[in-house]
Chains A and B, each alone.
Chain A
C-alpha cells in the first residue's frame, strides 16, 4: 500500500510540474491550456501503459504492446485515410484501422482452439510494416498534410482544443474510462493465465473468448488515443515492465500501477518536450530518448 502512496505522490508532483513549468507566464488562459494538456497526458499515458500491461499479461509475452500488435500503426493508418478523405483525423477511422489490423493479426495467429503467441507478434510486426508503407503512400498523395501525419506518427499533446472538438474529446475520455474499468475486472483471469494456458483452461476460463474481448477493447482504446494525440510509442512497452518490478506480478496491483506510472512518465516527457526548445517537439521523441536509458539502467541494476 505504501508503494501506492509513493507512486501517487510522484504522479501528483508530475502533474504539478507540468502545470507550473512552461515558457509562458501562468495566467488563467495558460492555466486552462496546461490543465487540458495534463488531462490529455494522463489519458494517453495511462491508457497506453494499461493496455500494454494487460496485453503482456494475456499473451505472456514481454514484447506485446499496442505497437507490436499492429493496433497503433493500424490506428495511424486509419487516421491518415480519414485525413485524406475528410481533412480531419476522425476517431472512427482510427478505431476502424486499429480494429481492422487487429482482426488480421488475430486471424493469422489463430489456430484450432487457441492462439499461437509467437505468431501473434510476427503477424503484428508484419502488419505494422504494411501500415507504414500505406501511410507513406498517403503522405505522397496528400502532400500538404505531411506535417500533420508526421506528428500523428510521433504523437504530441499540444492539440488545439476548440468548441468543435471539445465535446468529442471529453466523450472519448469518458468512454475510455469505462472501457478501462471493464478490462480491469478481468484481473483474476489474467493472473491465472499468466501462470500457464493449461492451468487456466483447466480452471474453466474461456481463453479464446477472453482474448477476443481484450483484443477488441484495447484496439478501441488505442484507436481513440491515437486519433486524439497520435501514436506515442514506448510507453505501452516499457512502463508495464517497470510497474511489474515495483508492484509484482498480480494484475490487481500492477495494472493501476501501469496507469499511474504511464501517466507520470508521459507528463514528465511532455514537460521536457515543452521546455527544451522553443519549438513544439513531438512527445514521442522524448519518451524514447528519456525512456530507453532509464530502462537499461533499471534492468542492469536488477
Chain B
C-alpha cells in the first residue's frame, strides 16, 4: 500500500468533488450570443414592460421570477429576484442592468463598482410606474409604444368617483384589508402603489396610516379596524379564525380569495386587470 488510509480517503474525496464540479459545469446553461443593445432585467415587472413595448429582443438575461409573458421563461436566467448572480450578469456583458430597490441594493453596489450602466426601478406610486415605462421606452427606442402604453394604462386605471349616496356613516367608501401572508399577517401600507390603486377604485385601505410599504400587523389591529372587505392574496382560508367572527367583512361574507397576486403586486401592464377586479369588488 503506497498511501495511508486517511490520505486515500481525502484523495478519493477530492476526485469526487472535481468530478461533480465538471458535471455541474457541463450542465450549466450558456447564454446565446447576442449583438445589439443588451439588457439584463432583475425586475419581473420591468421584464413585462419591455415585452409590452415590443423590445423583448434586447433582453439577454432575466430572473427566475420573470414568468410573464410565457416567452420570458425562455430567456437566460441570472438567478432569482433576491439572489441574482453577479458573475452571470457580468458574463452577459450587458449595456444596461435593471435593478429593483430596495431589495437589490447589494447587487447594485457591486455593479456600480464594475462601471455597468444601471436602471433603477423602485415605483411607489402609479406615476412612478408610468415614468419608469417612459424612461425605459426611451432607452430601448420605443418612445411611441411607451407613450401609448402609459396612456392606455391611465385610461383604464382612472379614479372612480363614488356617486354621493345617502351614506350611513358619512362615507360610502368600503374599508379594505388586504392580506399578503398569513404567518405573520403581512398587509400593505401607505407608500405602495397598491394602496393608491385601492383608493382609485373607490376604497380605503384600513392600514393607510402606516408608513411602511409591507407592514406586519397584529390580529387585534385588524379586528379593531373592522374592514368591510377582505382581499386574501394567499391560498389559506381565513373565515374561521379565532376572534375574527364579528369583523364586518366576514359576517357579510365579503372575503375575496380569487384575485391573482401578480395582477396587483407587479407594477406593469397587468395592473389594469387587477384594477378592474378591485372595481368590481367595490361596486358589489
CB-defined interface of B208-232 with A at 8 Å, one 1/0 digit per residue? 0010100111111101100000000
B183 touches A30 (CB 8 A): no
Could you tell me the distance between the alpha carbons of A160 and B217 in the complex, rounded to whole angstroms?
Answer: 12
A33 touches B223 (CB 8 A): yes
Q: Which of A25, A30, A143, A163 contacts B243 (CB 8 A)?
A: A30
Q: Interface residue tally of chain A, by bracket?
A: 20 to 34
A29 touches B185 (CB 8 A): no
B246 touches A160 (CB 8 A): no
B82 touches A140 (CB 8 A): yes
Chain-B contact segment, one of A48-56, A113-121, A200-208, A272-280? A272-280
The answer to whether the Cβ of B281 comes within 8 Å of any Cβ in the partner chain is no
A160 and B241 contact, Cβ closer than 8 Å, known pairs A148-B181, A151-B183? yes
The answer to whether the Cβ of A23 comes within 8 Å of any Cβ in the partner chain is yes
Q: Which of B83, B185, B216, B240 contacts A163 (CB 8 A)?
A: B240
The answer to whether the Cβ of A291 comes within 8 Å of any Cβ in the partner chain is no
B80 touches A140 (CB 8 A): yes
Q: Which of A23, A140, A158, A164 contacts B224 (CB 8 A)?
A: A23
Kindly list chain A residues whose C-beta atoms are within 8 Å of the C-beta of B216: 147, 151, 279-280
Kindly list chain B residues whose C-beta atoms are within 8 Å of the C-beta of A147: 181, 184, 186, 216
Q: Which of A23, A25, A162 contacts B242 (CB 8 A)?
A: A162
B83 touches A162 (CB 8 A): no
Could you tell me the distance between the alpha carbons of A29 and B222 in the complex, rounded to whole angstroms?
Answer: 12
Chain A nearest CB, measured from B165 CB (Å) = 29
Q: Which of B215, B219, B235, B245 contacts A160 (CB 8 A)?
A: B219
Chain B nearest CB, measured from A116 CB (Å) = 23
A278 and B210 contact, Cβ closer than 8 Å, known pairs A22-B220, A30-B223? yes
Could you tell me the distance between the alpha carbons of A242 and B95 in the complex, rounded to whole angstroms?
Answer: 62
Chain A nearest CB, measured from B266 CB (Å) = 13
Kindly list chain A residues whose C-beta atoms are within 8 Å of the C-beta of B83: 140
The answer to whether the Cβ of A161 comes within 8 Å of any Cβ in the partner chain is yes
- CB contacts under 8 Å to A, within B235-284, are 235, 237-238, 240-246
A32 and B246 contact, Cβ closer than 8 Å, known pairs A151-B183, A278-B217? no
- The residue in A23, A29, A32, A148 that gathers the most chain B C-beta atoms within 10 A of its C-beta is A29
A29 and B184 contact, Cβ closer than 8 Å, known pairs A143-B65, A280-B216? no
Could you tell me the distance between the alpha carbons of A164 and B182 in the complex, rounded to whole angstroms?
Answer: 13
The answer to whether the Cβ of B81 comes within 8 Å of any Cβ in the partner chain is yes
Q: Which of B217, B238, B246 contacts A27 (CB 8 A)?
A: B246
The answer to whether the Cβ of A188 comes within 8 Å of any Cβ in the partner chain is no
- CB contacts under 8 Å to B, within A201-248, are none
A279 touches B183 (CB 8 A): no
Q: Which of A146, A161, A274 contacts B220 (CB 8 A)?
A: A274
- CB contacts under 8 Å to B, within A86-109, are 87, 89
Chain B nearest CB, measured from A231 CB (Å) = 14
Taking chain B's interface residues, is the majority helix, strand, or loop, or is none over half, making it mixed?
Answer: loop
The answer to whether the Cβ of A17 comes within 8 Å of any Cβ in the partner chain is no
Chain A nearest CB, measured from B86 CB (Å) = 15
Kindly list chain A residues whose C-beta atoms are within 8 Å of the C-beta of B212: 279
B185 touches A160 (CB 8 A): yes
Chain B nearest CB, measured from A156 CB (Å) = 6
Chain B nearest CB, measured from A26 CB (Å) = 10
A33 touches B219 (CB 8 A): yes
B218 touches A160 (CB 8 A): no
- The residue in A22, A34, A279 that gathers the most chain B C-beta atoms within 10 A of its C-beta is A279
A23 touches B220 (CB 8 A): yes
Kindly list chain A residues whose C-beta atoms are within 8 Å of the C-beta of B186: 147
Could you tell me the distance between the alpha carbons of A225 and B68 in the complex, rounded to whole angstroms?
Answer: 40
- The residue in B183, B223, B240 that gathers the most chain A C-beta atoms within 10 A of its C-beta is B183
Could you tell me the distance between the alpha carbons of A123 and B181 in the complex, rounded to whole angstroms?
Answer: 36
A30 touches B220 (CB 8 A): yes
Could you tell me the distance between the alpha carbons of A146 and B241 in the complex, rounded to whole angstroms?
Answer: 23
A162 touches B210 (CB 8 A): no
Could you tell me the distance between the alpha carbons of A29 and B240 in the complex, rounded to whole angstroms?
Answer: 12
A25 touches B241 (CB 8 A): no
A279 and B81 contact, Cβ closer than 8 Å, known pairs A29-B246, A156-B184? no
Could you tell me the distance between the alpha carbons of A156 and B240 in the complex, rounded to whole angstroms?
Answer: 21
CB-defined interface of A13-51 with B at 8 Å, one 1/0 digit per residue? 000000000111101011011101000000000000000
The answer to whether the Cβ of A159 comes within 8 Å of any Cβ in the partner chain is yes
- CB contacts under 8 Å to A, within B58-103, are 65, 80-83
Lowest 5 A-B CB distances belong to which pairs?
Answer: A33-B243, A24-B224, A161-B242, A280-B218, A29-B243
Known: A143-B81, A144-B181, A162-B238. 8 other contacts (CB 8 A): A24-B223, A36-B243, A146-B82, A151-B183, A158-B184, A160-B182, A162-B242, A274-B218
Sample of 27 A–B contacts (CB below 8 Å): A22-B220, A23-B220, A24-B220, A24-B221, A24-B223, A30-B223, A30-B224, A30-B243, A33-B242, A36-B242, A89-B183, A140-B83, A143-B80, A144-B181, A147-B184, A148-B184, A151-B216, A160-B182, A160-B183, A160-B242, A162-B240, A164-B237, A278-B210, A278-B215, A279-B216, A280-B185, A280-B216
Report which B residues bind A (CB closer than 8 A). Answer: 65, 80-83, 181-186, 210, 212, 215-221, 223-224, 235, 237-238, 240-246
